Structure 1
Amino acid sequence: MDVLSPAFEVGTLVVLGLILLLDLLYVARRPHEPSMKEAGLWIGFYVTLALVFAGLLFVLGDAQHGTEFLAGWVTEYSLSVDNLFVFLIIMAKFQVPRRYQQEVLMVGIIIALIARAVFIAIGAVAIEHLTWVFYIFGAFLLWTAWHQLKDDDDGEESEPGIVARLTRRLNVAPDYDGNRLRTTVDGKRMFTPMVVVFITIGLTDVMFAVDSIPAIFGLTQNWFIVLTANIFALMGLRQLYFLLGGLMDRLVFLKHGLAFILAFIGVKLILHALHENELPFLNGGQPVTWVPEISTFVSLAIILGTLVVATLASLLWGKAPEDGAEPVFHGAHRMQDIAERAESDDR
């Protein structure tokens, strides 16, 4: 039973919406490349805000609510690093001017929130009415974990040129015109490359939403906690981009840590599905009660421990990829191919 009041839930979402709106207006009115100090202060603010919110859940809810939020927030925050690395590739491939990258990132975060909200709504309805969906979520996370580690050595394209196909018929100008989406070249109205960047960012967000939402549903089925954990995980991502941009290539073992977390949550989901089993061909349609079920407290400890070990191992023993080496993060190779084909078509 949910002990949080509807007023608290609605009030929280309103406040978070206002913070995001103010952040968006700030970026739109003052496009610039933030300094390390500015980025660090903003990240500290958003992390502190998330921890304060977790404290409120412990006080106004209970330990279960607070722990579920912390586990979900940490998991989504770590998976957002994948998003961040792909954003780095997109910015580089489309040569987005540094002063306008904040705006692109903010739009990307808004698109990510919308995409995740849609998948959260779908997932919440599916879980409420179809308990067997936990088997699908669990299997999907295990497949994603394996794909995170799999080396794409065959050299074949793993993703069609979606962006290139969507933008092939657009009349795109060769150069940017500030942060405008439309410009005039030789008296002819044209789209700027910023449109292609936004489309690429949007498709990337959808791809990562498909990966991340099943992961957090493996930690909590409370839609409010799922949604707020995702919002807090995306807050500060824009500043983290500028703060850790040069450090990303050094986190070479992070993909192994993320793969382990996804696999762990996948197993947790399957074990939970067995406890809630209603499939007639499995144990006669009765719950399988003898299998262990992993608590949220244990999940949080394993997730935090994995991230600490992966980060320390990367900083102590990791070696940054050489120039021209394939990016180490899941999805980066696919989006790099898409960006290259889109850029080639625009030219």
Structure 2
Amino acid sequence: MNVSTWEWAATLIGLLALLSLDLMIIGRRPHEPSMKEATGWVVFYVALACAFGAWIFYNHGSQYGQEFFAGWVTEYSLSVDNLFVFVIIMSRFAVPRIYQQKVLLIGIVLALIMRGAFIAAGAALVSRFVWVFYIFGVFLIYTAYTLTKHGESDESDFKENALIRWSRRVLPISKEYDEAKMTVVQNGKRLFTPMLIVMIAIGTTDLIFALDSIPAIFGLTKEPFLVFTANVFALMGLRQLYFLLGGLLNRLVYLSLGLAAVLGFIGVKLIMEALAGNNVPFINGGQPLSAVPHISIGVSLGVIIGILAIATVASLVKSSREAKNNHEEKSPTPVG
């Protein structure tokens, strides 16, 4: 895939413009978005991603277009799963709803920076060492296994890491928030607000999420431009999606299992590709295994969409049945 300098430049300028727009909206009027506002922004970002994918199809061919959509759908689904943890963090630290937008936006910026670094490192490794796919594949299969043990998300899914505990112990932290400020002066002494701890929690969580998502998308495309743009479009609009989904997140009870199946599938695909191009001396004498079947990107896209669709429908069916059963149990028994 030949990506010109102007394509990279236009993509980066467009990204900076969208981030600047978000910063202007939040800076001028911190608020909790209405359902109408959140829906409008989510539809806008999804339409923008689809338009970008169509442009890839037209300018670079169907192969790369399918790779973009497969990567975007996978990363978007992982981002939705990440929202579970964001909800828990916001609840754990009692972040006021009107300031949660700023926390999410900064979290998205941090995620973009971290993923940009991981993408650059991953692209360099993938271009030079085929055996990296073995590591990525095993890692994704292990991640899939851990997700099957995950169960439904609750408060126990988030545990304060060493950096958060160290920050609480060493830094002077005020007891109350002061709008969305990081520091505040009390009795002539400058203190950090709890917002700093929230940002540390979001940032370290983003780091963990990046470790999962980058190997996954490299299993679908090896093009750095597609890896980067799929991640960007998956993250843009995540702030509004957080407010749009709201309680619906709790109804997606099988999302983790669906993502486990997707990551497991990509992990197996990566290992198969590594075997097909093998040069590791202790595997088949350092020779490629020509008999290993190739899974096309079209098949991969269909499998990913199918798994996620089944997981979503099954989740909504189960949660609806549980809600109906709970309602019937609470309803008074008629006296005959």
- What CA deviation, in whole Å up to 9, does each residue of 1:96-128 have, x standing for no partner? 111100000000000010111111111101111
Secondary structure in 1 aligned to 2:191? strand
Distance 2:159 2:85 in 1: 16
Contact 1:261–1:306, Cα closer than 8 Å, also in 2? yes
Q: Which amino acid in structure 2 is aligned with residue 269 of structure 1?
A: L
2:327 counterpart residue number: none
Contact 1:250–1:320, Cα closer than 8 Å, also in 2? no
Distance 1:320 1:254 in 2: 17
Distance 2:105 2:157 in 1: 33
1:141 counterpart residue number: 140
How far apart are 1:17 and its partner, in Å? 2.1
Say if 1:160 and 1:3 are closer, same or farther in 2 by CA, change over 3 A: closer
Matching of residue 306 in structure 1 with residue 333 in structure 2: no
Matching of residue 76 in structure 1 with residue 75 in structure 2: yes
Distance 1:305 1:147 in 2: 21
Distance 1:35 1:158 in 2: 31
2:234 counterpart residue number: 233
- What CA deviation, in whole Å up to 9, does each residue of 1:153-185 have, x standing for no partner? xx9998754311233200000000111111122
Q: Scaled by the length of structure 1, what TM-score is found? A: 0.88
Q: Which amino acid in structure 2 is aligned with residue 42 of structure 1?
A: W
- What CA deviation, in whole Å up to 9, does each residue of 1:32-58 have, x standing for no partner? 000000000000000000000001001
**Which has the greater radius of gyration?**
2
Contact 2:85–2:158, Cα closer than 8 Å, also in 1? no
Provide structure 1 residue ranges, at least 5 long, that are not aligned to the other structure. 323-347
Provide structure 2 residue ranges, at least 5 long, that are not aligned to the other structure. 324-336
Q: Which has the higher helix share?
A: 2
1:257 counterpart residue number: 258
How far apart are 1:29 and its partner, in Å? 1.9
Distance 1:249 1:264 in 2: 25
- What CA deviation, in whole Å up to 9, does each residue of 1:274-295 have, x standing for no partner? 1111101111111111011111
Secondary structure in 1 aligned to 2:170? coil
Identical aligned pairs, as a percentage?
Answer: 55
Matching of residue 129 in structure 1 with residue 147 in structure 2: no
Secondary structure in 2 aligned to 1:318? helix
Contact 1:4–1:60, Cα closer than 8 Å, also in 2? no
Give the total of aligned pairs: 319
Say if 1:86 and 1:157 are closer, same or farther in 2 by CA, change over 3 A: closer
Distance 2:31 2:319 in 1: 32
1:41 counterpart residue number: 40
How far apart are 1:144 and its partner, in Å? 0.2
How far apart are 1:313 and its partner, in Å? 0.4
How far apart are 1:83 and its partner, in Å? 1.6
1:4 counterpart residue number: 3
Contact 2:67–2:220, Cα closer than 8 Å, also in 1? yes
Q: Scaled by the length of structure 2, what TM-score is found? A: 0.91
2:56 counterpart residue number: 57
Distance 1:191 1:243 in 2: 31
Secondary structure in 2 aligned to 1:246? helix
**Higher mean C-alpha displacement, 78-87 vs 41-50:** 78-87
Q: Which amino acid in structure 1 is aligned with residue 6 of structure 2?
A: A
1:86 counterpart residue number: 85
* Map 1:191-340 → 2, pairs under 5 A: 191-318=192-319
Say if 1:188 and 1:157 are closer, same or farther in 2 by CA, change over 3 A: closer
Distance 1:142 1:47 in 2: 29
**Higher mean C-alpha displacement, 257-266 vs 186-195:** 186-195
2:329 counterpart residue number: none
